[in-house]
Amino acid sequence: MIKVKQIQAKECYSIRQQVLWQHKSVNECGIAIDSQEGAFHLGAFLNDELVCIGSFFKQENPQFNQAKQYRLRAMATLPIAQKKGTAKSLLEFAVQKLKTEHQDLLWCDARIIATGFYSKLGFSTKGTSYEIPIIGTHYCMYKFLQK
């Protein structure tokens, strides 16, 4: 059974390190804005084990005109839980929360390997690919939250 709930930023560090940032130590896996106003972190639990995380920040992307934007960062799922619906459940939970809060747009820097996942959940691609040093090729992806 998958359960999604809000967690503390520090609870994200281990999965960030294992899945996204193997070149860093666990203690280096904080994001400078982890505790900014409006930030929240979600965890998806499979059989009571934290297996998927995502962090959400009030952050505007100048490519979009929407006034109320949120950015998804550092979404990651442990290999043992991939393709089991944990990431989908987490993202659907976040989208519902942001809609309830009357946010207009959710955007992210998506790794090339994740673009298909985001597309299936209604995200679109903006612009061309770009490189993030050490990490790899990304696309800006977004989803409108209000119709």
Domains and CATH numbers, the chain: 2-144 (3.40.630.30)
**Residue 90, pLDDT above cutoff 80:** yes
pLDDT band at residue 66 under the 50/70/90 scheme: very high
Region 114-136: mean pLDDT is 92
pLDDT at 12: 95
Region 55-62: mean pLDDT is 96
Average of per-residue pLDDT values in the chain: 94
pLDDT at 54: 97
pLDDT band at residue 147 under the 50/70/90 scheme: low
CA atoms within 13 A on the CB side of 130: 11
Contacts of 98 (CB under 8 A, 6+ apart): 56, 70, 106, 145
pLDDT band at residue 133 under the 50/70/90 scheme: confident
pLDDT band at residue 4 under the 50/70/90 scheme: very high
**Residue 5, pLDDT above cutoff 70:** yes
**To the nearest whole percent, how much of the chain has pLDDT over 70?**
99
**Residue 73, pLDDT above cutoff 90:** yes
Region 60-69: mean pLDDT is 95
CA atoms within 13 A on the CB side of 140: 13
DSSP E strand boundaries for the chain: 2-7, 40-46, 49-58, 69-77, 105-111, 124-132, 136-144
